[in-house]
Amino acid sequence: MNTASPPQHPAIVLTTVRHKDGVSIVRVFSREHGIVGCLVREGVKGSRRSRNLYSPLSLLDLVGIRVVKEDLFRFQRADRMMAQDRTAGEVPRGALAMFLAEFMLRTLDSSTPHEDLFDALWRTAQRIEHATSIGRLHLAFMVEAVQVMGLKPDAPVTAPGGMDRFNLAMADWESGPPLGEDYLSEGEAERFLRIQGMNFDELQAEALSHDARNLLVLQHVRYLQLHLSSPRPIRSWEVLSTVLAP
């Protein structure tokens, strides 16, 4: 682990897929390249060190990285930028890391850099490891993602006269019943809009029930996917919502 000097090529692990005998592809979110795959040789029979090094949201410096073809890379070595023992060893922290990693994979296109979003996810991974209370870290990241991607709705928090639903795809109020996942009721929308632009500490202090937090997370996932790609289910959500239940 090297924390004394800035990383040469910072990257955040998202997932690892077995490629062929002795070789896996680690999908990472690189600050310079966006989401790309990296060929890695497995350690001795998939050692615990190797598994933990490439677990979701591991913060790495990929030294000597080079292109193999298109969005596939190799590197000389991967240095861990900080110890993440609690993330690897505690189920709620690990489930939170897995959820955010899957969200990134299912929301962003490959090979497109998003430096501000990368920095936001890096900070979130640090908080997952060190924060005492982790129950709202995923919501705080989603709110920051909306901000840094330039997607903060330019709409009043309170519904204008005659408007009674909020269209997530259009990021604006309109009239009509809130039918389907792309529409929020007046109360849901006002809560959604009120927290936009809040920082981590402000969100921690916000009065939110467990159910309200979960609904806001799913609404942000929907909103970001509508504007960055297309809606896709996050399979790890069920596990995360269970382990974070009161």
The model's pLDDT over 9-48, given as tens digits with 9 standing for 90+, comes to 999 999 999 887 778 999 999 999 999 999 998 654 445 5
Tokens of 195: 């927290």
Domains plus CATH for the chain?
Answer: 10-152+196-243 (2.40.50.140)
- Give the residues of the chain that fall short of pLDDT 50: 44-46
- Tokens 């069920």 belong to residue: 238
Identify whether the C-beta of residue 94 lies closer than 8 Å to the C-beta of residue 133: no
Tell me the C-alpha distance between 54 and 40, whole Å.
Answer: 10
Tell me the C-alpha distance between 178 and 146, whole Å.
Answer: 22
Phi, psi of 172 (to 5 degrees): -155, 160
- Beta-bridged to residue 26, according to DSSP, are 16, 38
The model's pTM: 0.93
